[in-house]
Amino acid sequence: MSRIVYVNGSFVPEAEAVVSVFDRGFLMADAVYEVTSVLDGKLIDFAGHCVRLARSLGELEMKNPHSEAEWLQIHRDLVDQNGLVDGMIYLQVTRGNPGDRDFVYPGPEVMPTVVLFTQSKPGLADNPAAKVGWKVISIPDLRWDRRDIKTVQLLYPSMGKMAAKKAGVDDSWFVQDGVVTEGTSNNAYIVKGSKIITRPLSNDILHGITRVAVLRLAAEAQMEIEERAFSVDEAQRADEAFITSASAFVMPVVEIDGTAVGTGKPGQVVARLREIYLDEMRRAAV
Ligand code: PDD
């Protein structure tokens, strides 16, 4: 089915959606993005994604082209026009098309390019992978030092996903200075007893919107949280491990570099967190 996508104020069939070859998003990865999940036609944690979008744009001295209310309307129109039930909305804002290639940022006369599209994933919340868990490998983190900004520079994460695919597993965990930073497109956690351990926020990782919600809900459920880095070795000896992201929600990790975590099967703490997260997010969806 042909999708209706959003480009710079217009809703058009995907085949008619056009961006210039001089767009800085294309030439220089000069762009930021967000991915928001949709369950039962409603947006999950939309406000959180809007806040992070504004922050990413601000860090790159880019103007936010829309208010939160306008972004919400565009998202909702896109859901309606595509009859989206379960899936994701991808949003990208680039520094626009200055008409030529130049390392210097263009002036304010150049408008940002805004693109949004839907990805249909029927039964997204019932992903069977959550019952078996992911296997991951660890690889060096060779990304730039501003991973807190959600830019479209996704070549290294893409290489990490390919390394995982070639190794016959589901994802790669990045390692820097002997400790895990995050997954290719998700935040990483381990569980020891009833304590959840995850890296504190810094420029080394993306400030996951799912991470904020999961840590809040875990604290409300009286679970203990320790924000500190952990090594692959410690993760392999943990009781449970998991990742969070807007598209995978809370996903158990059952094997790291060929070593089973805990029983090698998804554990109870992660299963409970996934359930709490999905229940609460469905309830608060807009
Ligand atoms: N990725 N870390 C990285 C490097 C990410 O790319 C993502 C999200 C996350 C989790 O953030 P959130 O909980 O806000 O989704 C952490 C999205 C889903 C993607 O690129 O498709």
Same domain, 154 and 272: yes
User: Cα(193)–Cα(224) distance, rounded to whole angstroms?
Assistant: 10
Query: Is the per-residue pLDDT at 1 higher than 70?
Result: no
Query: Is the per-residue pLDDT at 134 higher than 70?
Result: yes
Give the C-alpha distances (Å, rounded to integers) separating 190 from 2, 59, 151, 182: 41, 30, 26, 12
pLDDT digits (tens, 9 = 90+) for 208-250: 999 999 999 999 999 999 999 999 999 999 999 999 999 999 9
166 belongs to the catalytic site: no
Which residue's alpha carbon is nearest to atom 2 within ligand 1?
186
Atom nearest to 210 CA in ligand 1: 13
- Residue 79: how many other CB atoms lie within 10 Å: 18
Same domain, 172 and 115: no
Atom nearest to 33 CA in ligand 1: 20
Q: What percent of the chain has pLDDT over 90?
A: 99
Write out the residue range of the structural domain in which residue 182 sits. Answer: 129-284
**What is the CATH number for 21?**
3.30.470.10
240 Cβ closer than 6 Å to some ligand 1 atom: no
Cα of 99 from ligand 1 centre, angstroms: 31
- What pLDDT score was predicted for residue 194? 86
The pick from 38, 206, 216 for probing ligand 1's pocket by mutation, whose C-beta has the most ligand atoms within 8 angstroms, reads: 206
* Domain count along the chain: 2
**What is the CATH number for 178?**
3.20.10.10
User: Cα(106)–Cα(92) distance, rounded to whole angstroms?
Assistant: 18
Query: Is the per-residue pLDDT at 205 higher than 90?
Result: yes
187 Cβ closer than 6 Å to some ligand 1 atom: yes
Domain termination residue (choose one: 124, 157, 191): 124
56 Cβ closer than 6 Å to some ligand 1 atom: no
